[in-house]
Structure 1
């Protein structure tokens, strides 16, 4: 879950009601409510993630971006004006 949360934060594009990017803490709280679990400390979890994956930190992010772009293009091509 930490990888997904971190990737979504790094992707950007998610905004709070004021149009600002959400804080890490706010995103973690949303994930906790949505998936019914608890991060002990999101900042510690992210630190462990970065220590565990010293290289290719963006592999998950790149895969998610590729999948999102593919879906976006598929939907754009299917739209009728």
Structure 2
């Protein structure tokens, strides 16, 4: 599995309630900030930029960690991410 596919899988896991949004906010942020993020940047710079420029701030500013309150933007970024892989 590529790092790009792993990034999309993070969104799939939170959207399917395999992990909580609370866990996603910390675990994916950490995943993106360290070695996996470095590898993603080398593999797919556009995807890395999309996620890194938006997600850290968004996750810090959440008013609610309820999935249904955040589903629309999570789905939007999952779909944008997937499109950057399919190209």
- TM-score when scaled to structure 2? 0.27
Larger Rg, first or second structure (1 or 2): 1
Q: Which has the larger share of helix?
A: 2
| Structure with bigger RCO (C-alpha 8 Å, 6+ apart) | 2
